[in-house]
Amino acid sequence: MIGQKQVPSRLGGIEVAVEALSVRMAARGHDVTLYNSCRYEKSEKKVKKRQSRWDYRGVHIYDRSAIPVKGVSAMLSSLTATLRALSEKYDCIHFHAEGPAAMSFLPHLLGIRTVVTIHGLDWKRSKWGKFASWYLKQGEKTAVACADEIIVLSRAMQRYFWETYRRQTVLIPNGIEKPILKKAQLIRQKWGLEKDSYILYLGRIVPEKGLEILVEAFKQVKTEKKLVIAGGPADTESFYRKLQNMAEGDQRILFTGFVQGEIMEELFSNCYFYCLPSDLEGMPISLLEAMSYGDCCLCSDIAECAEVLDGFGYLFKRGDCEDLRIMLQMLCGNPERIQACRSQVSDYVCSRYNWDTITEQTLALYARDNSLD
Protein backbone atom coordinates (compact mmCIF):
# COMPACT_ATOMS: atom_id res chain seq x y z
CA MET A 1 0.00 0.00 0.00
CA ILE A 2 1.23 3.45 -0.99
CA GLY A 3 -0.20 6.87 -0.10
CA GLN A 4 -0.41 7.00 3.70
CA LYS A 5 1.84 9.43 5.55
CA GLN A 6 2.52 7.34 8.63
CA VAL A 7 1.11 4.13 10.10
CA PRO A 8 0.43 3.79 12.94
CA SER A 9 -0.90 7.31 13.45
CA ARG A 10 -4.04 9.42 13.41
CA LEU A 11 -2.74 12.04 10.99
CA GLY A 12 -5.84 11.56 8.84
CA GLY A 13 -8.54 9.22 7.68
CA ILE A 14 -6.26 7.52 5.18
CA GLU A 15 -3.82 6.51 7.91
CA VAL A 16 -6.62 5.11 10.09
CA ALA A 17 -8.06 3.14 7.17
CA VAL A 18 -4.74 1.75 5.95
CA GLU A 19 -3.83 0.53 9.43
CA ALA A 20 -7.22 -1.09 9.96
CA LEU A 21 -7.04 -2.92 6.63
CA SER A 22 -3.39 -3.95 6.67
CA VAL A 23 -3.29 -5.47 10.15
CA ARG A 24 -6.40 -7.51 9.42
CA MET A 25 -4.98 -8.72 6.11
CA ALA A 26 -1.76 -9.74 7.86
CA ALA A 27 -3.76 -11.58 10.55
CA ARG A 28 -5.39 -13.59 7.76
CA GLY A 29 -1.98 -14.75 6.56
CA HIS A 30 -1.32 -12.26 3.76
CA ASP A 31 2.09 -10.63 3.27
CA VAL A 32 1.42 -6.89 3.49
CA THR A 33 3.91 -4.04 3.06
CA LEU A 34 3.23 -0.35 3.64
CA TYR A 35 5.34 2.46 2.20
CA ASN A 36 4.94 5.36 4.61
CA SER A 37 5.70 8.90 3.50
CA CYS A 38 7.27 10.26 6.69
CA ARG A 39 8.65 13.70 7.29
CA TYR A 40 11.73 14.07 9.41
CA GLU A 41 10.95 14.20 13.12
CA LYS A 42 12.55 16.93 15.22
CA SER A 43 13.38 16.17 18.82
CA GLU A 44 15.56 18.21 21.15
CA LYS A 45 16.57 20.38 18.19
CA LYS A 46 18.15 17.42 16.42
CA VAL A 47 16.85 15.94 13.21
CA LYS A 48 16.19 12.22 13.59
CA LYS A 49 15.06 9.59 11.16
CA ARG A 50 13.03 6.55 12.12
CA GLN A 51 14.29 3.09 11.27
CA SER A 52 13.63 2.68 7.53
CA ARG A 53 12.30 -0.93 7.66
CA TRP A 54 10.32 -2.38 10.55
CA ASP A 55 7.31 -4.53 11.40
CA TYR A 56 4.06 -3.54 13.09
CA ARG A 57 1.41 -6.10 14.08
CA GLY A 58 2.51 -8.45 11.33
CA VAL A 59 2.74 -5.72 8.67
CA HIS A 60 6.05 -4.77 7.00
CA ILE A 61 6.61 -1.02 6.92
CA TYR A 62 9.11 1.07 4.97
CA ASP A 63 9.44 4.68 6.10
CA ARG A 64 10.26 6.78 3.06
CA SER A 65 11.60 10.17 4.18
CA ALA A 66 9.73 12.97 2.44
CA ILE A 67 11.10 16.41 1.61
CA PRO A 68 8.99 18.81 3.73
CA VAL A 69 7.92 21.03 0.83
CA LYS A 70 4.19 21.55 0.35
CA GLY A 71 2.93 20.17 -2.97
CA VAL A 72 6.19 18.37 -3.83
CA SER A 73 6.99 15.94 -1.01
CA ALA A 74 4.01 13.66 -1.62
CA MET A 75 4.76 13.39 -5.36
CA LEU A 76 8.41 12.44 -4.87
CA SER A 77 7.59 10.08 -2.03
CA SER A 78 4.98 8.27 -4.13
CA LEU A 79 7.42 7.94 -7.02
CA THR A 80 10.25 6.48 -4.93
CA ALA A 81 7.85 4.17 -3.08
CA THR A 82 6.39 2.90 -6.35
CA LEU A 83 9.82 2.27 -7.89
CA ARG A 84 10.84 0.34 -4.77
CA ALA A 85 7.59 -1.64 -4.82
CA LEU A 86 8.07 -2.60 -8.47
CA SER A 87 11.37 -4.29 -7.56
CA GLU A 88 9.67 -6.45 -4.93
CA LYS A 89 7.34 -8.27 -7.37
CA TYR A 90 4.15 -7.89 -5.34
CA ASP A 91 0.93 -9.55 -6.52
CA CYS A 92 -0.96 -6.30 -6.08
CA ILE A 93 -0.12 -2.65 -5.42
CA HIS A 94 -2.80 -0.56 -3.73
CA PHE A 95 -2.59 3.24 -3.99
CA HIS A 96 -4.52 5.43 -1.54
CA ALA A 97 -5.66 8.93 -2.63
CA GLU A 98 -5.49 10.82 -5.89
CA GLY A 99 -1.92 12.15 -5.60
CA PRO A 100 -0.24 8.74 -5.18
CA ALA A 101 -2.57 7.35 -7.87
CA ALA A 102 -0.62 9.40 -10.43
CA MET A 103 2.00 6.62 -10.22
CA SER A 104 -0.49 3.82 -10.89
CA PHE A 105 0.53 3.73 -14.55
CA LEU A 106 3.89 2.17 -13.62
CA PRO A 107 2.65 -1.15 -12.17
CA HIS A 108 -0.06 -1.14 -14.85
CA LEU A 109 2.59 -1.07 -17.58
CA LEU A 110 4.32 -4.04 -15.96
CA GLY A 111 1.13 -6.06 -15.67
CA ILE A 112 0.92 -5.88 -11.85
CA ARG A 113 -2.61 -5.79 -10.50
CA THR A 114 -3.29 -2.19 -9.48
CA VAL A 115 -6.00 -0.94 -7.12
CA VAL A 116 -6.69 2.70 -6.23
CA THR A 117 -8.85 3.97 -3.38
CA ILE A 118 -10.17 7.48 -3.89
CA HIS A 119 -10.65 8.88 -0.39
CA GLY A 120 -11.99 12.19 -1.70
CA LEU A 121 -11.64 14.69 -4.53
CA ASP A 122 -8.39 16.10 -3.19
CA TRP A 123 -7.93 18.53 -6.08
CA LYS A 124 -10.88 20.53 -4.72
CA ARG A 125 -9.21 21.23 -1.39
CA SER A 126 -8.50 24.93 -0.97
CA LYS A 127 -5.07 24.48 0.62
CA TRP A 128 -3.51 23.42 -2.69
CA GLY A 129 -2.05 25.79 -5.24
CA LYS A 130 -2.67 25.58 -8.98
CA PHE A 131 0.09 23.07 -9.74
CA ALA A 132 -0.79 20.78 -6.85
CA SER A 133 -4.50 20.83 -7.78
CA TRP A 134 -3.64 20.08 -11.40
CA TYR A 135 -1.38 17.21 -10.35
CA LEU A 136 -4.05 15.70 -8.09
CA LYS A 137 -6.56 15.84 -10.94
CA GLN A 138 -4.04 14.04 -13.15
CA GLY A 139 -3.79 11.37 -10.47
CA GLU A 140 -7.54 10.91 -10.67
CA LYS A 141 -7.40 10.62 -14.47
CA THR A 142 -4.48 8.19 -14.29
CA ALA A 143 -6.45 5.97 -11.91
CA VAL A 144 -9.37 5.99 -14.32
CA ALA A 145 -7.10 4.98 -17.22
CA CYS A 146 -4.76 2.52 -15.50
CA ALA A 147 -6.17 1.01 -12.32
CA ASP A 148 -7.63 -2.48 -12.55
CA GLU A 149 -10.07 -1.49 -9.81
CA ILE A 150 -11.07 1.84 -8.25
CA ILE A 151 -12.54 1.81 -4.75
CA VAL A 152 -14.74 4.71 -3.66
CA LEU A 153 -16.17 5.36 -0.21
CA SER A 154 -19.62 6.73 -1.00
CA ARG A 155 -22.45 6.50 -3.50
CA ALA A 156 -21.90 10.17 -4.35
CA MET A 157 -18.31 9.41 -5.38
CA GLN A 158 -19.50 6.42 -7.40
CA ARG A 159 -21.90 8.68 -9.31
CA TYR A 160 -19.12 11.23 -9.89
CA PHE A 161 -16.82 8.72 -11.59
CA TRP A 162 -19.58 7.33 -13.75
CA GLU A 163 -20.94 10.73 -14.81
CA THR A 164 -17.47 12.24 -15.37
CA TYR A 165 -15.55 9.33 -16.89
CA ARG A 166 -18.10 6.54 -17.47
CA ARG A 167 -15.81 4.48 -15.23
CA GLN A 168 -17.22 1.71 -13.05
CA THR A 169 -16.03 1.79 -9.44
CA VAL A 170 -16.51 -0.42 -6.40
CA LEU A 171 -18.14 0.98 -3.27
CA ILE A 172 -16.26 -0.17 -0.16
CA PRO A 173 -16.70 2.33 2.70
CA ASN A 174 -14.50 2.95 5.71
CA GLY A 175 -15.23 1.00 8.88
CA ILE A 176 -15.32 1.41 12.62
CA GLU A 177 -14.96 -0.66 15.77
CA LYS A 178 -17.23 -0.40 18.81
CA PRO A 179 -15.25 1.53 21.43
CA ILE A 180 -15.20 1.42 25.22
CA LEU A 181 -16.67 4.59 26.72
CA LYS A 182 -14.38 6.53 29.04
CA LYS A 183 -15.21 8.80 31.96
CA ALA A 184 -14.07 12.42 31.91
CA GLN A 185 -10.82 12.30 33.86
CA LEU A 186 -7.88 13.53 31.78
CA ILE A 187 -10.02 16.12 30.01
CA ARG A 188 -11.28 17.37 33.39
CA GLN A 189 -7.74 17.73 34.67
CA LYS A 190 -6.46 19.37 31.50
CA TRP A 191 -9.36 21.63 30.44
CA GLY A 192 -12.06 21.36 33.12
CA LEU A 193 -14.41 19.49 30.77
CA GLU A 194 -17.28 17.44 32.21
CA LYS A 195 -19.80 15.06 30.69
CA ASP A 196 -22.21 16.91 28.33
CA SER A 197 -20.54 20.26 28.97
CA TYR A 198 -19.22 20.79 25.44
CA ILE A 199 -19.89 20.45 21.72
CA LEU A 200 -17.03 18.67 19.93
CA TYR A 201 -15.28 18.98 16.59
CA LEU A 202 -12.38 16.56 16.22
CA GLY A 203 -10.37 16.31 13.03
CA ARG A 204 -7.91 18.14 10.81
CA ILE A 205 -7.91 21.93 10.98
CA VAL A 206 -8.25 22.80 7.30
CA PRO A 207 -10.52 25.26 5.45
CA GLU A 208 -12.78 22.68 3.80
CA LYS A 209 -13.94 21.41 7.21
CA GLY A 210 -16.21 24.46 7.57
CA LEU A 211 -14.72 25.56 10.88
CA GLU A 212 -14.99 29.27 10.16
CA ILE A 213 -18.78 29.15 10.06
CA LEU A 214 -18.81 26.84 13.10
CA VAL A 215 -16.90 29.40 15.16
CA GLU A 216 -18.98 32.28 13.83
CA ALA A 217 -22.29 30.48 14.41
CA PHE A 218 -21.37 29.27 17.90
CA LYS A 219 -20.43 32.78 19.02
CA GLN A 220 -24.09 33.72 18.47
CA VAL A 221 -25.53 30.74 20.38
CA LYS A 222 -26.86 31.38 23.88
CA THR A 223 -25.47 28.50 25.94
CA GLU A 224 -23.06 27.81 28.75
CA LYS A 225 -21.67 24.82 26.89
CA LYS A 226 -18.22 25.08 25.37
CA LEU A 227 -17.12 24.45 21.82
CA VAL A 228 -14.06 22.19 21.75
CA ILE A 229 -12.07 22.21 18.49
CA ALA A 230 -9.66 19.30 18.71
CA GLY A 231 -7.01 18.79 16.05
CA GLY A 232 -3.87 20.27 14.63
CA PRO A 233 -3.17 22.15 11.40
CA ALA A 234 -2.18 20.13 8.34
CA ASP A 235 0.14 22.49 6.43
CA THR A 236 -2.37 25.21 7.36
CA GLU A 237 -0.85 27.02 10.33
CA SER A 238 -2.09 30.40 9.11
CA PHE A 239 -5.66 29.10 8.94
CA TYR A 240 -5.35 27.72 12.47
CA ARG A 241 -4.26 31.14 13.71
CA LYS A 242 -7.14 32.74 11.82
CA LEU A 243 -9.64 30.53 13.66
CA GLN A 244 -8.04 31.39 17.00
CA ASN A 245 -8.30 35.08 16.17
CA MET A 246 -11.97 34.66 15.24
CA ALA A 247 -12.62 33.01 18.63
CA GLU A 248 -10.93 35.75 20.66
CA GLY A 249 -13.23 37.21 23.28
CA ASP A 250 -15.38 34.06 23.61
CA GLN A 251 -14.03 32.07 26.54
CA ARG A 252 -16.32 29.17 25.66
CA ILE A 253 -14.25 28.21 22.59
CA LEU A 254 -11.35 25.88 23.34
CA PHE A 255 -8.60 24.79 20.94
CA THR A 256 -6.87 21.64 22.21
CA GLY A 257 -4.35 20.99 19.44
CA PHE A 258 -3.76 17.47 18.13
CA VAL A 259 -5.20 14.72 20.34
CA GLN A 260 -5.07 10.94 20.32
CA GLY A 261 -5.22 7.98 22.70
CA GLU A 262 -7.14 8.30 25.96
CA ILE A 263 -7.72 12.03 25.65
CA MET A 264 -9.37 11.55 22.26
CA GLU A 265 -11.45 8.67 23.65
CA GLU A 266 -12.60 10.79 26.58
CA LEU A 267 -13.53 13.69 24.28
CA PHE A 268 -15.72 11.43 22.12
CA SER A 269 -17.20 9.68 25.17
CA ASN A 270 -18.34 12.80 27.01
CA CYS A 271 -19.36 15.41 24.45
CA TYR A 272 -22.92 16.75 24.38
CA PHE A 273 -22.96 16.28 20.61
CA TYR A 274 -20.47 16.15 17.74
CA CYS A 275 -20.43 18.72 14.93
CA LEU A 276 -18.90 18.23 11.47
CA PRO A 277 -19.60 21.31 9.29
CA SER A 278 -17.53 20.17 6.27
CA ASP A 279 -17.82 21.55 2.76
CA LEU A 280 -15.90 18.59 1.32
CA GLU A 281 -15.44 14.98 2.45
CA GLY A 282 -14.59 11.56 1.07
CA MET A 283 -16.00 9.47 3.88
CA PRO A 284 -15.45 11.10 7.29
CA ILE A 285 -13.92 8.59 9.70
CA SER A 286 -14.28 11.12 12.51
CA LEU A 287 -18.06 11.03 11.98
CA LEU A 288 -18.05 7.22 12.09
CA GLU A 289 -16.04 7.39 15.30
CA ALA A 290 -18.37 9.89 16.93
CA MET A 291 -21.39 7.75 16.03
CA SER A 292 -19.65 4.62 17.34
CA TYR A 293 -19.36 6.33 20.73
CA GLY A 294 -23.10 6.91 20.68
CA ASP A 295 -22.79 10.64 20.02
CA CYS A 296 -25.59 12.63 18.49
CA CYS A 297 -24.10 14.33 15.41
CA LEU A 298 -24.83 17.55 13.55
CA CYS A 299 -23.34 17.72 10.05
CA SER A 300 -23.49 19.76 6.88
CA ASP A 301 -25.89 18.27 4.35
CA ILE A 302 -23.25 17.20 1.83
CA ALA A 303 -24.01 13.76 0.39
CA GLU A 304 -21.04 12.07 2.06
CA CYS A 305 -22.18 13.09 5.57
CA ALA A 306 -25.88 12.51 4.94
CA GLU A 307 -25.14 9.01 3.66
CA VAL A 308 -23.27 8.05 6.82
CA LEU A 309 -25.83 9.64 9.17
CA ASP A 310 -28.73 7.98 7.33
CA GLY A 311 -31.24 9.77 9.55
CA PHE A 312 -29.43 9.00 12.83
CA GLY A 313 -28.52 12.64 13.45
CA TYR A 314 -29.12 16.20 12.24
CA LEU A 315 -28.14 18.19 9.15
CA PHE A 316 -27.80 21.89 8.31
CA LYS A 317 -27.36 23.59 4.95
CA ARG A 318 -23.72 23.48 3.89
CA GLY A 319 -21.98 26.82 4.31
CA ASP A 320 -25.07 28.47 5.84
CA CYS A 321 -23.94 30.11 9.08
CA GLU A 322 -27.46 31.12 10.13
CA ASP A 323 -28.89 27.63 9.60
CA LEU A 324 -26.00 26.19 11.61
CA ARG A 325 -26.67 28.69 14.41
CA ILE A 326 -30.34 27.69 14.50
CA MET A 327 -29.47 23.99 14.71
CA LEU A 328 -26.82 24.54 17.39
CA GLN A 329 -29.29 26.57 19.47
CA MET A 330 -32.05 24.00 19.00
CA LEU A 331 -29.88 21.08 20.12
CA CYS A 332 -28.46 23.00 23.06
CA GLY A 333 -32.00 23.60 24.27
CA ASN A 334 -33.38 20.10 23.65
CA PRO A 335 -31.41 17.43 25.55
CA GLU A 336 -34.24 14.94 24.95
CA ARG A 337 -33.43 15.00 21.22
CA ILE A 338 -29.79 14.33 21.99
CA GLN A 339 -30.70 11.36 24.17
CA ALA A 340 -33.11 9.90 21.60
CA CYS A 341 -30.36 9.94 18.98
CA ARG A 342 -27.79 8.42 21.34
CA SER A 343 -29.96 5.39 22.07
CA GLN A 344 -29.68 4.00 18.53
CA VAL A 345 -26.69 5.39 16.71
CA SER A 346 -23.81 3.24 18.02
CA ASP A 347 -25.35 -0.15 17.25
CA TYR A 348 -26.40 1.08 13.81
CA VAL A 349 -23.03 2.40 12.68
CA CYS A 350 -20.94 -0.45 14.13
CA SER A 351 -23.04 -3.10 12.41
CA ARG A 352 -23.14 -1.32 9.05
CA TYR A 353 -19.49 -0.24 8.83
CA ASN A 354 -17.49 -3.24 10.01
CA TRP A 355 -13.74 -3.39 9.32
CA ASP A 356 -13.65 -7.19 9.15
CA THR A 357 -16.29 -7.25 6.42
CA ILE A 358 -14.57 -4.39 4.60
CA THR A 359 -11.23 -6.24 4.72
CA GLU A 360 -12.80 -9.32 3.14
CA GLN A 361 -14.37 -7.19 0.41
CA THR A 362 -11.01 -5.56 -0.34
CA LEU A 363 -9.16 -8.89 -0.47
CA ALA A 364 -11.81 -10.26 -2.83
CA LEU A 365 -11.25 -7.27 -5.08
CA TYR A 366 -7.49 -7.92 -5.13
CA ALA A 367 -8.18 -11.46 -6.38
CA ARG A 368 -11.04 -10.67 -8.74
CA ASP A 369 -9.11 -11.71 -11.85
CA ASN A 370 -8.37 -15.11 -10.16
CA SER A 371 -4.59 -14.61 -10.37
CA LEU A 372 -4.34 -14.35 -6.58
CA ASP A 373 -6.75 -17.19 -5.65
Interstrand relation of 41-43 and 46-48 (parallel, antiparallel or unpaired): antiparallel
Prediction pTM value: 0.84
Q: What pLDDT tens digit does each residue of the chain (373 aa) get?
A: 999 998 998 888 899 999 999 999 999 999 999 999 875 444 433 334 445 789 999 999 999 776 666 657 778 889 999 999 999 989 999 999 999 999 999 999 999 999 999 998 888 877 778 888 999 999 999 999 999 999 999 999 999 999 999 999 999 999 999 999 999 999 999 999 999 999 999 998 999 999 999 999 999 999 999 999 999 886 778 999 999 999 999 999 999 999 999 999 999 999 999 999 999 888 889 999 999 999 999 999 999 999 999 999 999 999 999 999 999 999 999 999 999 999 899 999 999 999 999 999 999 999 986 444 4
Give backbone dihedrals phi and psi of 165, rounded to 5 degrees, phi first.
Answer: -125, -5
Give the CA count within 13 Å in the CB-facing half-sphere of 197: 14
Query: What amino acid occupies position 159?
Result: R
How many DSSP H helices and E strands does the chain contain? 15, 15
Cα separation values, 42 from 48, 153, 327, Å: 6, 35, 43
201's enclosing H/E stretch is: strand 198-202
